[in-house]
Structure 1
Amino acid sequence: MFTDRYRSIPAGTGAQRGLSLVEIMVGMLIAMIGVVIIFQMLATSEERKRTVSSGSDTQVSGIVGMTTLERDIREAGYGFSSAAFDNAATPVMGCTVNAYDSARPAAIRAYTFTLTPIQIVQGASGASDTIIVLRGNGSTFPAAHVFTESSDTTKKTRGRAGLAPRDYALIARNSPTVDCMIVEITEVNDDYGNCTACVDGVSIQHKQGSYSFPVYLPDGTTPVQTRIARYNNPAPPIAFTNGFIFNLGNGARRNIWQVTANNRLQVTNDLLYLDVNPADGTNDAVEVTEGVVNMQAEYGIDANNNGQIETTEWTTTNPATAAAWANVLAVRVAILLRSGQYERTTVTTAIPTWSGSATSPLTVTNLDGTASGTTPADPTMNWRNYRYRVYESVIPLRNILWGSNIRP
């Protein structure tokens, strides 16, 4: 006896099992569309992530660069700020400073620069400006010392308070049209038998060769150290009779701020020559930040003496006299940064601007260094495929402002 379980099923009448070819193709199509959408979302997400990350890096670079530069400029003129005023005894701002550094290559050991708290060297054809900041770091009140007698190695002052061995001293006469000189103080007493002239209690020495000085340590001990005078010219170019001594401390700096060809903001201390690689024969610079493509700066000169800087009183022209320097109340600086992320579409259609664009416009270049041009439709202008940020600041020259009340 047979049951239904063993009954044969006629051909063509059985139930269909599995998916048809059409259904499989439709499923594959839907899956492929889903994969494409997912990958597009991932690509868009990664692109946005890179853009945001690059923008964050640019912001950090801009803040670091501007903060460091601003801090340096605020100290400009420290130690010689009274030299800017033409109504008292020391109108020497603008004199040509004769300096010497035995650590430099022989051909440039003796060099000169202009005595100014800050100097803006305009870049050619819109290129980045160079900003030069001169400042001391003396720990005493920054008034000038009067000296009444002089030799090639000594100066007799009315009082030498605050002057110490190793300090930079700016020696000047009472005229900005006469050269001045930087020396290294080697003795203010005759504690080590090196300066018999110093026993008078008012003379200082700035000789060649070695000298000794005490070092005051936290534990209360004062060991004596010896060093070779580095900044005293063996053939002084100026013979002084009387004048003024400005104490710049033992860590004076003449910082030269520049933007390099590879978009680095760097600073070089011109008063402290340091060449780790003597083969290149250049003073080593310190890189402060990256991504900077342009830097512009202007003086704020209170020409009408109303205590304010008017819109028309911002200028790129260097003050020509000591009296003009007394009216420089501030500088304004802008740095332009470019992100490192290349965007496939145009994201910048115009060159960024800043408050001083009327007289000192910012400029950008393409990645190969060619000019940016002004035609956004030009496909070769790849500067348009990057994002930019402008950081600017108005920085008061507080030492010049205070210098009017400092007298020898």
Structure 2
Amino acid sequence: MMHKPVRLFSRLRRQRFQLGVSLVELLVGILIGLVATLAISNLFSGFEARKRTIAGGADAQSSGVLAMYYMQRDAQNAGYGLPLYNSTDPSPLLCPIDTSINQGGVVINLSPVLIVDGGTGNDIVRIRYGNPASGGASLRATGTMTAPTLDGRLIGCQENDIVLFHQTPSNPNCSLGRLQKLNADRTINTLSEINTVPTASPVSILNGADWVRFSCLGAWNQYEYTVNPGLELTRSGGTPGANPFPSSAAVPVASDIVALQAQYGITTTIDPTSGSATASAYLNRVDQWVDATGTFGPTMALMDRNRIRAIRIAVVARDGNLQRNIVSQACDGAAAGVSRVCIWQADAAPANVDLTSVANWQRYRYRSFEATIPLRNIIWNRDAL
């Protein structure tokens, strides 16, 4: 009987030592928990990085598509309102290149598109077109310029429309003016601003001895696209409401646009049957893409302007998410695993785009968007050149 308490004490002591975990077991458990926590954190971090990449890519896609939509829409209208003529009538593209009118302080000529080269920076694209209800129809005019006699009624013309006087093909002098007031029977009451910017040889309509074409261009507007310091593509110009050009402010139309580049598409091939190098002798196609410099810069000649058949536009959109490491490089860069930023990607040698003005530019991702737009009015008027 004396052995029973001893055995009971021994069992209780063994049970006491078996309760809980040892220090080694505790450390092993903590280590497993830390590994699991680290794995879960890395998993969430990876998901978050992929989500930012996808969201940033979607933002860049939206911005680039929106930017191209606005510019392509306007460029497709470039030159609308300029009258179309057959081979025996004068073409507005034969007017002296300085045939212009002052629209609220901005001198605008008849060139459907003008690119201002930005050098290593961003280009500026200016697109011009009217909105006549007549679609560019013209009337024959005689008499005096300030009070011409027309061979029809001004259907589709409105007060304050810009009008074009254009003499015969053999004497293609031109003037722009403003239809200030119409009579109730749709005849001219008052014309103003004739030859506000004189051409090389101002037009004078002689009584019965000469005749010109008279056309309403509507509100001959200029729409300008540029990238502002806030990396927004802006559009300005036009006639918002009752306000004349260019009172409209530069309106941002797309954000995170870091580059805007544009080029003229010109023809260099002369029709072998023409035998001369006049504007009408060039074939109706694009042979070369050129910057708005040199021959196609600010002092561009009329014949060279009429060799332009199209323009192409490139915009580069940024995803907006600053990355930890370098993820982008110039188009001619050689770093492995780093995306190249290129424009004119269909060319044999795509071009660099200078983004050095953007802080930490290599730590952002980019998407390039391009569009080629034929200039319809120049193409349609080719036979009259």
TM range (shorter): 0.7 to 0.9
Q: What do the CA deviations read for 1:113-163 (whole angstroms, capped 9, x no partner)?
A: 232000001013x111111111112232423333222354x4322223434
Match of 1:46?
A: 48
From 246, 267, 282, the equivalent of 2:215 is 246
From 387, 391, 405, the equivalent of 2:365 is 387
Match of 1:165?
A: 158
Q: What do the CA deviations read for 1:52-99 (whole angstroms, capped 9, x no partner)?
A: 10001101111111122111101101111548x998424215233122
What is the one-letter code of the residue matched to 2:77?
Answer: E
Match of 1:147?
A: 141
Check the 8 A contact 1:298/1:332 in 2, yes or no: yes
Q: How much has 1:272 moved relative to structure 2?
A: 5.4
Coordinate RMSD, CA, aligned: 3.7
Match of 1:89?
A: 90
Check the 8 A contact 2:177/2:195 in 1, yes or no: no
CA distance, structure 1, for counterparts of residue 64 and residue 38 of structure 2: 38
1:266 aligns with 2:234: yes
- State the secondary structure of the residue aligned to 2:34: helix
From 254, 257, 266, the equivalent of 2:225 is 257
From 180, 188, 196, the equivalent of 1:204 is 188
Q: How much has 1:20 moved relative to structure 2?
A: 1.5
From 241, 252, 271, the equivalent of 1:287 is 252
Check the 8 A contact 1:81/1:402 in 2, yes or no: no
Alignment of 1:78-227 (within 5 A): 78-80=80-82, 82=84, 88-90=89-91, 91-92=94-95, 94-101=97-104, 108=105, 111-124=106-119, 126-150=120-144, 152=146, 154-166=147-159, 168-174=161-167, 180-187=175-182, 189-190=183-184, 203-206=187-190
Q: How much has 1:13 moved relative to structure 2?
A: 4.3
Aligned identity (percent) is 24
Q: How much has 1:345 moved relative to structure 2?
A: 1.6
Match of 2:376?
A: 398
CA distance, structure 2, for counterparts of residue 398 and residue 160 of structure 1: 27
CA distance, structure 1, for counterparts of residue 72 and residue 135 of structure 2: 23
- State the secondary structure of the residue aligned to 2:26: helix
Higher mean C-alpha displacement, 57-66 vs 318-327: 318-327
Length-normalised TM-score, structure 1: 0.72
- State the secondary structure of the residue aligned to 2:315: strand
From 71, 74, 77, the equivalent of 1:72 is 74
Q: How much has 1:328 moved relative to structure 2?
A: 1.7
From 344, 363, 384, the equivalent of 1:355 is 344
Check the 8 A contact 2:330/2:353 in 1, yes or no: no
CA distance, structure 1, for counterparts of residue 76 and residue 142 of structure 2: 33
- State the secondary structure of the residue aligned to 1:164: coil
Check the 8 A contact 1:78/1:142 in 2, yes or no: yes
CA distance, structure 2, for counterparts of residue 95 and residue 23 of structure 1: 91
CA distance, structure 2, for counterparts of residue 179 and residue 359 of structure 1: 42
Check the 8 A contact 2:234/2:253 in 1, yes or no: yes
Name the CA shift for 1:81/1:328 in 2 (closer, same or farther; >3 Å).
farther
- State the secondary structure of the residue aligned to 1:39: helix
Structure 2's unaligned 5+ residue stretches are: 206-211, 270-281, 332-340
Check the 8 A contact 2:166/2:173 in 1, yes or no: yes
Check the 8 A contact 2:111/2:128 in 1, yes or no: yes
CA distance, structure 1, for counterparts of residue 324 and residue 236 of structure 2: 37
Q: What do the CA deviations read for 1:11-68 (whole angstroms, capped 9, x no partner)?
A: 8842211111221121112101211221122112111111110001101111111122
Match of 2:14?
A: 14
CA distance, structure 1, for counterparts of residue 215 and residue 225 of structure 2: 24
- State the secondary structure of the residue aligned to 2:10: coil
Check the 8 A contact 1:98/1:179 in 2, yes or no: no
CA distance, structure 2, for counterparts of residue 354 and residue 70 of structure 1: 17
What is the one-letter code of the residue matched to 2:214?
Answer: I
- State the secondary structure of the residue aligned to 2:372: strand
CA distance, structure 2, for counterparts of residue 151 and residue 245 of structure 1: 10
Check the 8 A contact 1:252/1:271 in 2, yes or no: no
What is the one-letter code of the residue matched to 1:246?
Answer: S
Length-normalised TM-score, structure 2: 0.76
From 279, 284, 300, the equivalent of 1:307 is 284
What is the one-letter code of the residue matched to 1:294?
Answer: A
CA distance, structure 2, for counterparts of residue 206 and residue 406 of structure 1: 31
Match of 1:34?
A: 36
Check the 8 A contact 1:301/1:314 in 2, yes or no: yes
